[in-house]
Structure 1
Amino acid sequence: MPWRCLIIKELQINGEIRAKEVRLIDHEGEQLGIVPIEKALQIAEEQQLDLVNMAPNAKPPVCRVLDYGKYRYDMMKKMKDSKKKQNTISVKELRLTPNIESHDLNTKAKKAKEFLESGNRVKVSVRFRGREMGHTEIGRRVLDDFTDLVKEYGQVDKKPKMEGRSMTMFFGPLNEK
């Protein structure tokens, strides 16, 4: 992922700071107290570092003497690492019919097992067409059979529920803690 895609909060540095007085922290982390902005800029310039406004909403604003380029690089690196550690869970959908054969049901269950093992949620829906709407109990039986096939890989998050012409059910991966 390129660096420019990461967005960090832009801070006021050096001449951009408009406050008259600031609470100053030096590059070693020690507080120097409340000083006029001119003196703070002079201290930063003597050490060949930047004066960065860390807390602009504070009274008086908190400024720190540091190398802004290095600070910005470190913040982007932290953000990139935190994005790397995130895991996203997506919902995969499988569609069944009320008159599905057992071999086809096993194939769909095998696919659902793959999804659950990779940490995704699975939405299973049985779609009713025409006269099948009068026999929703067959669809519920199909979902029960499907549940028996995948119960060692995932758990039922939402029980079967009719939504329009389809009956849906959600499975989530097993919590192994």
Structure 2
Amino acid sequence: MIMNEKIKASEVALTGVNGEDLGIMSTKEALQLAKEQKVDLVCLSLASSPPPCQLVGRTDFKQQAIKESAKSRKAEKGPKLKEIRLSAFIEEHDYDTKKRQAERILTSGDAVQLLVRLEKKESQEAKQLIEQLVRELKHCGVQEKGIQVSGKQVIAVLLPIA
């Protein structure tokens, strides 16, 4: 990011601290205005002529840059898959807790894997439990595939709604 005296253009298209358009002015005038307001002059892009610049408080700019880089890193990695384990015969209060947990994960942008470990002949109950949970979480997540029933577990994966 090019700031203050490092901007080599003769004139810049200036935007104020609060986003107001200050028009096109010479770089010297813009730097003088930045010094008067005790802020920095930041060049946003070198692609156009005159380059768009903005008056920004140093701490605001740094915080904004940190947030943007964190966002881009998260988007680069993609959503995480978080697992929630249940039992086929779960109490209502525990069920509600697991549902709220899944909602929180989905709304934060991560995927959820619902997993029920089977002990005896409880595959039907486990499948019904997961179907019910998927129906109740429809407002914040979509099912990736069907419900998978394997030998010792029943699994469903929910993706966050974009």
TM tier, smaller? 0.5 to 0.7
Question: Which protein shows a greater Rg?
Answer: 1
Query: Which residue is 1:160 aligned to?
Result: 147
SS at the partner of 2:89? Answer: coil
Q: Secondary structure at the match of 1:100?
A: coil
Q: 3-state DSSP class of the match of 1:143? A: helix
In structure 2, relative to structure 1, the CA distance for the partners of 1:84 and 1:147 (3 Å cut) is closer
Distance in structure 2 (CA, Å) of the matches to 1:154 and 1:107: 17
Tell me by how many angstroms 1:85 deviates.
1.5
CA RMSD in angstroms comes to 1.8
SS at match of 2:143: strand
Structure 2 counterpart of 1:145, which letter?
Q
Q: Which residue of 2 aligns with 1:135?
A: 122
Note if contact 1:113-1:150 (Cα within 8 Å) is conserved in structure 2: yes
2:83 corresponds, among 78, 81, 93, to 93
117, 141, 148: which one pairs with 2:135?
148
CA distance in 1, matches of 2:107, 2:83: 15
Aligned equivalent of 2:40: none
Contact persistence 1:106–1:149 (CA under 8 A): no
Q: State the secondary structure of the residue aligned to 1:167.
A: strand
Residue 111 to residue 84, structure 1, CA distance change in 2 (3 Å): closer
Check if 1:125 corresponds to 2:115: yes
Corresponding residue SS for 1:152: coil
Shift of 1:168: 0.5
CA distance in 2, matches of 1:112, 1:166: 19
Q: 1:102 aligns with which of 92, 104, 112?
A: 92
Mark the CA change 1:101 to 1:84 in structure 2 (over 3 Å): closer, same or farther: closer
Q: CA deviation at 1:159?
A: 1.5
Query: Residues of 2 paired with 1:138 and 1:84: CA distance?
Result: 40
Distance 1:144 1:114, change over 3 A: same
Runs of 4+ in 1 over 2 A off after TM superposition: 81-84
* Residue identity opposite 1:158 in structure 2: K
TM superposition shift of 1:84:
5.4
Q: How many residues align?
A: 92
- Which amino acid in 2 is paired with 1:100? I
Q: Which residue of 2 aligns with 1:31?
A: none
Gaps of 5+ in 2: 1-67
1:7-86 equivalences in 2 (<5 Å): 85-86=72-73
Q: What percent identity do the matched residue pairs reach?
A: 26
